[in-house]
Chain A
Amino acid sequence: MQIPEDIKALDEKIAKAKLLKQQEEPQSKHSDFSHLTMGLRLGVELASGTIVGAAIGYTLDEVFDFKYIMLLIFTIFGGCAGMLNAYRYIKSINTNEEKEGE
Protein backbone atom coordinates (compact mmCIF):
# COMPACT_ATOMS: atom_id res chain seq x y z
CA MET A 1 0.00 0.00 0.00
CA GLN A 2 1.34 3.44 -0.92
CA ILE A 3 1.55 5.95 1.93
CA PRO A 4 0.07 9.36 1.04
CA GLU A 5 2.43 12.36 0.96
CA ASP A 6 0.70 14.24 3.79
CA ILE A 7 1.04 11.19 6.09
CA LYS A 8 4.74 10.94 5.25
CA ALA A 9 5.18 14.63 6.08
CA LEU A 10 3.34 14.12 9.37
CA ASP A 11 5.58 11.15 10.17
CA GLU A 12 8.70 13.26 9.59
CA LYS A 13 7.25 16.04 11.74
CA ILE A 14 6.58 13.59 14.61
CA ALA A 15 10.11 12.13 14.34
CA LYS A 16 11.61 15.64 14.48
CA ALA A 17 9.49 16.58 17.50
CA LYS A 18 10.49 13.34 19.30
CA LEU A 19 14.19 14.04 18.67
CA LEU A 20 13.83 17.59 19.94
CA LYS A 21 12.05 16.38 23.08
CA GLN A 22 14.75 13.79 23.73
CA GLN A 23 17.44 16.47 23.49
CA GLU A 24 15.57 18.84 25.77
CA GLU A 25 14.81 16.30 28.51
CA PRO A 26 17.55 15.90 31.15
CA GLN A 27 18.83 12.41 32.07
CA SER A 28 16.11 10.74 34.10
CA LYS A 29 17.09 10.01 37.69
CA HIS A 30 15.69 7.21 39.81
CA SER A 31 12.68 8.40 41.79
CA ASP A 32 12.00 7.48 45.41
CA PHE A 33 9.31 5.12 44.18
CA SER A 34 11.75 3.20 42.00
CA HIS A 35 14.12 2.90 44.98
CA LEU A 36 11.25 1.48 47.01
CA THR A 37 10.47 -0.99 44.20
CA MET A 38 14.15 -2.01 44.05
CA GLY A 39 14.24 -2.56 47.81
CA LEU A 40 11.03 -4.57 47.77
CA ARG A 41 12.26 -6.72 44.89
CA LEU A 42 15.57 -7.39 46.67
CA GLY A 43 13.68 -8.40 49.82
CA VAL A 44 11.39 -10.72 47.89
CA GLU A 45 14.34 -12.27 45.99
CA LEU A 46 16.22 -12.98 49.24
CA ALA A 47 13.18 -14.42 50.98
CA SER A 48 11.88 -16.46 48.05
CA GLY A 49 15.19 -18.28 47.58
CA THR A 50 15.23 -19.30 51.24
CA ILE A 51 11.56 -20.35 51.22
CA VAL A 52 11.90 -22.42 48.03
CA GLY A 53 15.09 -24.05 49.38
CA ALA A 54 13.40 -24.87 52.68
CA ALA A 55 10.35 -26.27 50.83
CA ILE A 56 12.56 -28.56 48.69
CA GLY A 57 14.48 -29.71 51.80
CA TYR A 58 11.26 -30.39 53.72
CA THR A 59 9.80 -32.37 50.80
CA LEU A 60 12.97 -34.47 50.50
CA ASP A 61 12.85 -35.16 54.27
CA GLU A 62 9.20 -36.20 54.06
CA VAL A 63 9.75 -38.48 51.06
CA PHE A 64 13.07 -40.11 52.05
CA ASP A 65 12.87 -39.69 55.85
CA PHE A 66 16.22 -37.91 56.26
CA LYS A 67 15.38 -36.56 59.76
CA TYR A 68 15.48 -32.85 58.81
CA ILE A 69 19.05 -32.94 57.48
CA MET A 70 17.87 -31.97 54.00
CA LEU A 71 15.77 -29.13 55.42
CA LEU A 72 18.90 -27.72 57.05
CA ILE A 73 21.12 -28.13 53.97
CA PHE A 74 18.58 -26.84 51.44
CA THR A 75 17.63 -23.84 53.60
CA ILE A 76 21.29 -22.79 53.47
CA PHE A 77 21.40 -23.46 49.71
CA GLY A 78 18.17 -21.47 49.35
CA GLY A 79 19.67 -18.54 51.26
CA CYS A 80 22.67 -18.63 48.91
CA ALA A 81 20.35 -18.80 45.87
CA GLY A 82 18.42 -15.78 47.21
CA MET A 83 21.65 -13.83 47.63
CA LEU A 84 22.74 -14.88 44.12
CA ASN A 85 19.44 -13.62 42.65
CA ALA A 86 19.73 -10.36 44.59
CA TYR A 87 23.35 -9.94 43.39
CA ARG A 88 22.32 -10.55 39.77
CA TYR A 89 19.51 -8.02 40.11
CA ILE A 90 21.89 -5.35 41.46
CA LYS A 91 24.38 -6.21 38.71
CA SER A 92 21.69 -5.80 36.04
CA ILE A 93 20.77 -2.36 37.46
CA ASN A 94 24.42 -1.28 37.35
CA THR A 95 24.80 -2.56 33.77
CA ASN A 96 21.65 -0.67 32.70
CA GLU A 97 22.90 2.53 34.37
CA GLU A 98 26.26 2.21 32.63
CA LYS A 99 24.49 1.73 29.28
CA GLU A 100 22.34 4.84 29.94
CA GLY A 101 25.45 6.82 30.85
CA GLU A 102 27.22 5.99 27.58
Chain B
Amino acid sequence: MSGPMEQFEIKKLVPIEIGGYDISFTNSALCMVLAATLVVSIFALCLRKRTLVPGVYQNIPESIYEFIYKIVLDNVGKEGLKYFSFIFTLSLFIASGNILGLFPYSFTFTSHLAAVGALSIFALLFNMIVGIRKKKWGYLRTFMPRGIPWPLAPLIIPIETISLLSKPFSLTVRLVANMTVGHIMLKIIAGFVAALGVCGVVPLFFDGCIIAFELFIAVLQAYIYTILSCIYLSDALHYH
Protein backbone atom coordinates (compact mmCIF):
# COMPACT_ATOMS: atom_id res chain seq x y z
CA MET B 1 0.00 0.00 0.00
CA SER B 2 1.33 3.44 -0.88
CA GLY B 3 2.22 5.93 1.86
CA PRO B 4 0.06 8.94 2.71
CA MET B 5 2.63 11.37 1.28
CA GLU B 6 2.86 9.62 -2.09
CA GLN B 7 -0.21 11.46 -3.37
CA PHE B 8 1.73 14.74 -3.28
CA GLU B 9 4.59 13.50 -5.48
CA ILE B 10 5.17 15.45 -8.67
CA LYS B 11 5.49 13.18 -11.70
CA LYS B 12 6.83 14.29 -15.06
CA LEU B 13 4.34 13.57 -17.83
CA VAL B 14 6.11 15.31 -20.71
CA PRO B 15 9.81 15.98 -19.97
CA ILE B 16 10.86 19.36 -21.37
CA GLU B 17 14.23 21.03 -20.79
CA ILE B 18 15.14 24.43 -22.18
CA GLY B 19 18.54 26.04 -21.52
CA GLY B 20 19.28 23.70 -18.62
CA TYR B 21 15.95 24.53 -16.93
CA ASP B 22 13.47 21.75 -16.26
CA ILE B 23 10.06 23.00 -17.38
CA SER B 24 8.45 19.56 -17.76
CA PHE B 25 4.70 19.21 -17.99
CA THR B 26 3.83 17.46 -14.70
CA ASN B 27 0.73 15.97 -13.09
CA SER B 28 0.43 19.25 -11.14
CA ALA B 29 0.44 21.29 -14.38
CA LEU B 30 -2.11 18.90 -15.90
CA CYS B 31 -4.45 19.43 -12.95
CA MET B 32 -4.03 23.20 -13.23
CA VAL B 33 -5.00 23.03 -16.92
CA LEU B 34 -7.93 20.75 -16.02
CA ALA B 35 -9.10 23.12 -13.27
CA ALA B 36 -9.01 26.12 -15.59
CA THR B 37 -10.72 24.19 -18.42
CA LEU B 38 -13.37 22.87 -16.06
CA VAL B 39 -14.34 26.35 -14.84
CA VAL B 40 -14.44 27.82 -18.36
CA SER B 41 -16.45 24.84 -19.69
CA ILE B 42 -19.01 24.96 -16.85
CA PHE B 43 -19.47 28.71 -17.32
CA ALA B 44 -19.74 28.39 -21.11
CA LEU B 45 -22.24 25.52 -20.85
CA CYS B 46 -24.39 27.20 -18.20
CA LEU B 47 -24.45 30.53 -20.02
CA ARG B 48 -25.37 29.18 -23.47
CA LYS B 49 -28.94 30.46 -23.27
CA ARG B 50 -28.91 33.82 -21.53
CA THR B 51 -32.32 35.04 -20.41
CA LEU B 52 -33.49 37.95 -18.26
CA VAL B 53 -34.99 35.56 -15.73
CA PRO B 54 -32.22 33.01 -15.16
CA GLY B 55 -32.99 29.33 -15.41
CA VAL B 56 -31.50 26.66 -13.15
CA TYR B 57 -28.24 26.35 -15.10
CA GLN B 58 -27.82 30.09 -15.63
CA ASN B 59 -28.30 30.58 -11.89
CA ILE B 60 -25.10 28.66 -11.04
CA PRO B 61 -22.54 31.04 -12.63
CA GLU B 62 -24.68 34.08 -11.79
CA SER B 63 -24.78 33.15 -8.09
CA ILE B 64 -21.00 32.59 -8.01
CA TYR B 65 -20.46 35.89 -9.83
CA GLU B 66 -22.72 37.80 -7.44
CA PHE B 67 -21.15 36.14 -4.40
CA ILE B 68 -17.60 37.17 -5.36
CA TYR B 69 -18.84 40.58 -6.57
CA LYS B 70 -20.27 41.18 -3.08
CA ILE B 71 -17.02 40.11 -1.41
CA VAL B 72 -15.05 42.60 -3.53
CA LEU B 73 -17.62 45.36 -2.95
CA ASP B 74 -17.73 44.79 0.84
CA ASN B 75 -13.98 44.51 1.35
CA VAL B 76 -12.47 46.85 -1.24
CA GLY B 77 -15.36 49.17 -2.12
CA LYS B 78 -16.52 50.43 -5.52
CA GLU B 79 -12.95 51.29 -6.44
CA GLY B 80 -12.04 47.61 -6.22
CA LEU B 81 -14.57 46.57 -8.87
CA LYS B 82 -11.98 47.54 -11.52
CA TYR B 83 -9.94 44.56 -10.33
CA PHE B 84 -12.92 42.22 -9.93
CA SER B 85 -11.92 40.02 -12.89
CA PHE B 86 -8.56 39.28 -11.25
CA ILE B 87 -10.09 38.32 -7.88
CA PHE B 88 -12.83 36.30 -9.64
CA THR B 89 -10.29 34.31 -11.70
CA LEU B 90 -8.05 33.73 -8.68
CA SER B 91 -10.82 32.45 -6.42
CA LEU B 92 -12.37 30.18 -9.07
CA PHE B 93 -8.96 28.71 -9.91
CA ILE B 94 -8.23 27.97 -6.23
CA ALA B 95 -11.73 26.58 -5.59
CA SER B 96 -11.69 24.32 -8.65
CA GLY B 97 -8.16 23.15 -7.77
CA ASN B 98 -9.24 22.28 -4.22
CA ILE B 99 -12.36 20.42 -5.37
CA LEU B 100 -10.61 18.65 -8.24
CA GLY B 101 -8.05 17.29 -5.77
CA LEU B 102 -10.79 15.36 -3.95
CA PHE B 103 -11.40 13.09 -6.94
CA PRO B 104 -9.63 9.72 -6.96
CA TYR B 105 -6.40 9.56 -9.03
CA SER B 106 -6.39 13.35 -9.16
CA PHE B 107 -3.70 15.67 -7.81
CA THR B 108 -4.18 18.59 -5.44
CA PHE B 109 -1.92 21.33 -6.80
CA THR B 110 -3.10 23.63 -3.99
CA SER B 111 -1.23 21.38 -1.53
CA HIS B 112 2.10 22.52 -2.98
CA LEU B 113 3.91 25.55 -1.58
CA ALA B 114 5.42 26.34 -4.99
CA ALA B 115 2.08 26.54 -6.83
CA VAL B 116 0.12 28.50 -4.21
CA GLY B 117 3.18 30.57 -3.26
CA ALA B 118 3.58 31.67 -6.90
CA LEU B 119 -0.10 32.67 -7.00
CA SER B 120 0.23 34.60 -3.72
CA ILE B 121 3.41 36.39 -4.84
CA PHE B 122 1.64 37.26 -8.09
CA ALA B 123 -1.29 38.64 -6.06
CA LEU B 124 1.12 40.66 -3.85
CA LEU B 125 2.90 42.12 -6.91
CA PHE B 126 -0.47 42.95 -8.45
CA ASN B 127 -1.54 44.75 -5.25
CA MET B 128 1.78 46.62 -5.11
CA ILE B 129 1.43 47.76 -8.75
CA VAL B 130 -2.17 48.88 -8.09
CA GLY B 131 -1.03 50.78 -4.97
CA ILE B 132 1.92 52.44 -6.74
CA ARG B 133 -0.26 53.40 -9.73
CA LYS B 134 -2.80 55.00 -7.43
CA LYS B 135 -0.58 56.72 -4.87
CA LYS B 136 2.68 57.13 -6.83
CA TRP B 137 5.44 58.00 -4.30
CA GLY B 138 2.83 58.10 -1.54
CA TYR B 139 2.86 54.29 -1.62
CA LEU B 140 6.15 54.43 0.29
CA ARG B 141 4.05 55.60 3.26
CA THR B 142 3.10 51.92 3.62
CA PHE B 143 6.58 51.36 5.04
CA MET B 144 6.57 54.46 7.24
CA PRO B 145 3.03 55.30 8.41
CA ARG B 146 2.10 58.88 9.26
CA GLY B 147 2.56 60.08 12.83
CA ILE B 148 5.64 57.99 13.57
CA PRO B 149 8.75 60.01 14.55
CA TRP B 150 11.60 59.80 12.00
CA PRO B 151 14.20 58.50 14.52
CA LEU B 152 12.11 55.33 14.66
CA ALA B 153 12.45 54.78 10.90
CA PRO B 154 15.30 52.20 11.17
CA LEU B 155 12.98 50.06 13.30
CA ILE B 156 9.64 50.67 11.58
CA ILE B 157 10.73 50.33 7.93
CA PRO B 158 12.11 46.74 8.27
CA ILE B 159 9.11 45.71 10.44
CA GLU B 160 6.60 47.10 7.91
CA THR B 161 8.53 45.52 5.01
CA ILE B 162 8.48 42.10 6.68
CA SER B 163 4.82 42.63 7.57
CA LEU B 164 4.04 43.21 3.87
CA LEU B 165 6.15 40.28 2.67
CA SER B 166 4.69 37.89 5.25
CA LYS B 167 1.17 38.42 3.85
CA PRO B 168 1.56 36.09 0.82
CA PHE B 169 3.41 33.63 3.06
CA SER B 170 0.57 33.42 5.59
CA LEU B 171 -1.96 33.14 2.72
CA THR B 172 0.01 30.26 1.22
CA VAL B 173 0.68 28.41 4.47
CA ARG B 174 -2.98 28.47 5.48
CA LEU B 175 -4.23 27.02 2.21
CA VAL B 176 -1.42 24.48 1.78
CA ALA B 177 -1.63 23.25 5.39
CA ASN B 178 -5.40 22.76 5.19
CA MET B 179 -5.23 20.87 1.91
CA THR B 180 -2.25 18.70 2.88
CA VAL B 181 -3.58 17.73 6.30
CA GLY B 182 -7.03 16.86 4.95
CA HIS B 183 -5.65 14.62 2.22
CA ILE B 184 -3.21 12.87 4.56
CA MET B 185 -6.05 12.19 7.01
CA LEU B 186 -8.21 10.77 4.21
CA LYS B 187 -5.43 8.48 3.04
CA ILE B 188 -4.53 7.20 6.53
CA ILE B 189 -8.16 6.40 7.41
CA ALA B 190 -8.65 4.80 3.97
CA GLY B 191 -5.66 2.57 4.80
CA PHE B 192 -7.58 1.16 7.80
CA VAL B 193 -10.54 0.20 5.59
CA ALA B 194 -8.51 -2.47 3.78
CA ALA B 195 -6.50 -3.51 6.86
CA LEU B 196 -9.49 -4.13 9.17
CA GLY B 197 -11.46 -6.39 6.81
CA VAL B 198 -15.16 -6.51 7.77
CA CYS B 199 -14.68 -3.97 10.57
CA GLY B 200 -13.37 -1.61 7.88
CA VAL B 201 -16.95 -0.34 7.53
CA VAL B 202 -16.32 1.96 10.50
CA PRO B 203 -13.30 3.81 8.99
CA LEU B 204 -15.13 3.77 5.63
CA PHE B 205 -17.99 5.68 7.24
CA PHE B 206 -15.53 8.14 8.79
CA ASP B 207 -13.80 8.57 5.43
CA GLY B 208 -17.15 9.41 3.84
CA CYS B 209 -17.78 12.03 6.52
CA ILE B 210 -14.27 13.47 6.06
CA ILE B 211 -14.75 13.71 2.27
CA ALA B 212 -17.93 15.75 2.86
CA PHE B 213 -16.03 17.90 5.36
CA GLU B 214 -13.11 18.28 2.95
CA LEU B 215 -15.48 19.49 0.26
CA PHE B 216 -16.65 22.16 2.68
CA ILE B 217 -13.03 23.02 3.59
CA ALA B 218 -12.10 23.22 -0.13
CA VAL B 219 -14.75 25.88 -0.74
CA LEU B 220 -14.11 27.62 2.60
CA GLN B 221 -10.37 27.92 1.94
CA ALA B 222 -11.01 29.38 -1.51
CA TYR B 223 -13.41 31.84 0.16
CA ILE B 224 -10.80 32.79 2.80
CA TYR B 225 -8.15 33.19 0.11
CA THR B 226 -10.49 35.50 -1.82
CA ILE B 227 -11.39 37.57 1.25
CA LEU B 228 -7.75 37.99 2.25
CA SER B 229 -6.72 38.92 -1.31
CA CYS B 230 -9.46 41.56 -1.22
CA ILE B 231 -8.26 42.87 2.16
CA TYR B 232 -4.68 43.13 0.88
CA LEU B 233 -5.93 44.90 -2.25
CA SER B 234 -7.94 47.25 -0.05
CA ASP B 235 -4.79 47.94 2.02
CA ALA B 236 -2.90 48.81 -1.16
CA LEU B 237 -5.67 51.18 -2.30
CA HIS B 238 -6.77 52.86 0.92
CA TYR B 239 -4.13 52.34 3.61
CA HIS B 240 -2.73 55.54 5.18
In the complex, A62→B228 CA distance in Å? 33
Q: Are B166 and A85 in contact (CB under 8 A)?
A: yes
Interface positions of B (Cβ within 8 A of A): 52-53, 155, 158-160, 162-163, 165-167, 169-170, 173-174, 224, 231
Q: Are A44 and B174 in contact (CB under 8 A)?
A: yes
Contacts of A44 in B (CB 8 A): 170, 173-174
Task: Provide the main secondary structure of the chain A interface.
Answer: helix
Contacts of A81 in B (CB 8 A): 159-160, 162-163, 166
B158 interface neighbour in A37, A51, A74, A92, Cβ under 8 Å: A74
Q: Are B52 and A1 in contact (CB under 8 A)?
A: yes
Total A-B pairs, Cβ < 8 A: 55
Query: Which of chain A's residues 49-79 have a Cβ closer than 8 Å to chain B?
Result: 49, 51-53, 56, 74, 77-78
**Which residue of B has the minimal Cβ distance to A88?**
B163
Q: Are B158 and A48 in contact (CB under 8 A)?
A: no
A80 interface neighbour in B52, B159, B165, B169, Cβ under 8 Å: B159
Q: Are A51 and B174 in contact (CB under 8 A)?
A: no
Query: A7 contacts the other chain (Cβ, under 8 Å)?
Result: yes
Q: 5 A-B Cβ contacts within 8 A?
A: A45-B166, A48-B173, A77-B158, A78-B166, A80-B159
Contacts of A49 in B (CB 8 A): 162-163, 166
Contacts of B173 in A (CB 8 A): 44, 47-48
Closest 8 CB pairs of A and B: A81-B162, A48-B170, A81-B163, A52-B166, A48-B166, A48-B169, A49-B166, A77-B158
**Which residue of B has the minimal Cβ distance to A77?**
B158
**Which residue of A has the minimal Cβ distance to B53?**
A7
Closest Cβ of chain B to A20, distance in Å, is 20
In the complex, A84→B165 CA distance in Å? 13
**Which residue of A has the minimal Cβ distance to B177?**
A44
Q: Are B53 and A52 in contact (CB under 8 A)?
A: no
Q: Are B159 and A52 in contact (CB under 8 A)?
A: no
**Which residue of A has the minimal Cβ distance to B172?**
A48
In the complex, A78→B106 CA distance in Å? 37
Contacts A52-B165, A80-B159 given; does A85 touch B53 at CB 8 Å: no
In the complex, A47→B159 CA distance in Å? 14
Contacts of B52 in A (CB 8 A): 1, 3, 7
**Binary contact track A76-102/B, C-beta < 8 Å → 1, others 0:** 011011101100000010000000000
Closest Cβ of chain A to B156, distance in Å, is 9
Query: A16 contacts the other chain (Cβ, under 8 Å)?
Result: no
Contacts of A1 in B (CB 8 A): 52
In the complex, A37→B163 CA distance in Å? 20
Contacts of A7 in B (CB 8 A): 52-53
Query: A17 contacts the other chain (Cβ, under 8 Å)?
Result: no
A45 interface neighbour in B158, B170, B231, Cβ under 8 Å: B170
Q: Are A85 and B174 in contact (CB under 8 A)?
A: no
In the complex, A56→B160 CA distance in Å? 13
Q: Are B174 and A56 in contact (CB under 8 A)?
A: no
**Which residue of B has the minimal Cβ distance to A73?**
B158
